[in-house]
A and B are shown apart, each in its own frame.
Chain A
Amino acid sequence: MLTVRKNRELHSGMIAPKRKNTGQIIKKDFKKNWFAYLLAIPVIAWFLVFCYGPMWGVLIAFKDFKPLLGFADSQWVGFKHFIEFFEGPYFWRVVKNTLLLNLWGIVFGFTAPILLALMLNEARNSRFKKVVQTITYMPHFISLVVVCGMIHIFTADEGIITQILQFFTGKEYSSLLGYSSMFRPIYTFSGIWQSIGWESIIYLAAMSSIDPALYEAADIDGVGRIKKMWHITLPQISPVIVILFIFAIGGLMASGYEKIILLYNPLTYDTADVIASYVYRRGLREASLSYSTAVGLLSAIINFALLWATNRIAKRNSEVSLW
């Protein structure tokens, strides 16, 4: 499904069958591939139930869904819940927070692993490189709950991060998770801590397949190492960067609500509450089922539009696109 356009022919393995009666072809196909179709049944069934089932359920966004009445008997209300969300006091807050938190993620979180990969690529001592990689991968395997628990411990009144911050700013802080101005940095930088090593793997792999002749030619011209990074390494891995960037944009509205639920509290709602956490709170904790389904649907639509637009721009400006 991902295509780097110049390679498209290589990936299509389909050989067009000779034009025969479609019924005959299907019959022959079933006879030959019955085993594959047998295996496909549970897989397709799973997708229908667990992925397409909820899509159908989205219709309750247009109803006043009452669990006791059930889906069929609940009343249709059209766009009532959407309008309620637009006009409600939280609309701008959650949209703004969603966008800002993701902007932070893209500015800092997306670039950090690229920088790490560039640095590792320049490190010649392979033992050192290995140690760095092994250790920076590690946080990826720690569960989100534990990472957030660690954040709670380290940013508590006497926590180590609180103390370091006090040391550098000279101000007194109580628990950092109680300040709404601290939420975005804590969220973003803990995310980098957890994923920088893991996400650098792919860039490093891409770098390892760059033709060494390019560097040799640059060496003959006497080009410095930073210039080589900028003019050879980065352009060579740009298809990978573009693809991952499209994914980052595509996940913009949906991302990270598990972590937000673990880190936010009413004191920080005004910077921490995003669409997804708002849906969770209103929907599951306060049981406004139809309303939060409408909010969720809206964000899914915006999300897909963003993905589509980014993909289109990428397609026009480079050779890389998702479809």
Chain B
Amino acid sequence: MKYRKTMGNRMFDIVNYTLLSLLTLACLYPILHIVFASFSDPARLVAHKGLLLKPLGFTLDGYKLIFKDNSLLVGYRNTLIYVGLGTFVNMVMTIMGAFVLSRRDLYFKNAIMIVITITMFFGGGLIPWFLLMKDIGLFNNLWAMILPTALSTWNIIILRTGFQAIPLELEEAATIDGASQARILMYVILPLSKATLAVIFLYYLVGNWNSWFNAMVLLQDRDKFPLQLLMKEILVANDSSATTMGSAGGVVIDSAGSSTAYRELVKYCTIVVSTIPILMVYPFLQKYFVKGVYVGSIKG
């Protein structure tokens, strides 16, 4: 595109860059605020009003408190199990589904496709789903965090599109060399679909890390709770009968310094501790986003 240094162009750029910078700040600041607050001296933090541009004092007390408390560590462990096992099951199942739907010559391919796509538009709703989970024994069972979310129709379709983009000749050549379908999948299709695999891996990983609703509805024992559900109790305590507005929070942690100020500090620290791991994953996979999102929503 040609670019002339006219008055209008310059004005446009100034306005554009300013707006973009403000938006970026608006996206970044709340996160920084939380991080700064988590290191702040709780007494000064409570007294403070307005923006936080750096930590007020410096203390690690909040972090010490949350790691002294066993329940959060157990939550961490559970989340790691659910994320690890869950994402593995997700990937295996999605690869299988996508492989089936990417076969061009399958007699029942369209029938299978119809069975799968109908579920994108119709569902039974929350209550029938819940009753079914109870009937098949997933209530208060750790598989409740893995099986009901084992597949996403959307991701199958994204991956299928990725598989179909591989030139047919490659597969034909492998077939002539005597490779079975299993070998073709393992040694031709999967290695050539790394970018798409990375994208759906990221989707599943983030989804599993952040999921809480199934846990809230299906899990009862506290020692099975994932991190997010404990976070909900610490941060958001409004759906209980004892509704205390806004500023409240039924803090689970009952250690030495459970004064109001420390309670606030603990909130900030738990947010940081539960969010850092997932934020650390995404720069590594960022280069695949554009491709994945685009394939997923347009060509699917």
Contact = CB atoms under 8 A, between A and B. Distances in A.
Nearest to A292: B127
Contacts of B33: 154, 160
A148 B235 contact: yes
Contacts of B294: 201-202, 205-206
Contact of B128 (A17, A54, A150, A284): A54
B155 interface: no
B124 A146 contact: no
Given A29-B106, A225-B12, A265-B245, A284 B127 contact: yes
Contacts of B247: 156-158, 175
A280 B136 CA distance: 21
Interface residues of B, number: 106
Contact of B246 (A131, A138, A152): A152
A39 B246 contact: no
Nearest to B280: A141
* Chain B interface main SS type: helix
B275 A163 contact: no
A279 B148 contact: no
Interface in B1-34: 1-3, 8-9, 12-13, 16-17, 19-21, 23-24, 26-28, 30-31, 33-34
Interface residues on A, range: 35 or more
Given A54-B124, A139-B27, A266-B243, 18 more contacts: A14-B110, A36-B106, A49-B136, A123-B20, A134-B286, A145-B229, A146-B271, A150-B271, A153-B34, A158-B49, A177-B238, A205-B294, A212-B1, A225-B12, A243-B298, A244-B297, A262-B239, A297-B125
Interface stretch (A56-64, A88-96, A101-109): A56-64
Interface of A: 1-2, 4, 13-15, 17, 25-26, 29, 32-33, 35-37, 39-40, 42-44, 46-47, 49-58, 60, 67, 116, 119-120, 122-125, 128, 131-132, 134-139, 141-146, 148-150, 152-160, 163, 174-178, 193, 196-198, 201-202, 204-206, 212, 215-216, 219, 224-226, 240, 243-244, 250, 258, 261-267, 276, 279-280, 283-284, 289, 292-293, 296-297, 300, 304, 307
A216 B4 CA distance: 12
B30 A146 contact: no
A149 B209 contact: no
A168 to B, nearest CB: 14
Query: Of residues B20, B34, B181, B209, which shows the largest number of chain A Cβ atoms within 10 Å of its Cβ?
Result: B20
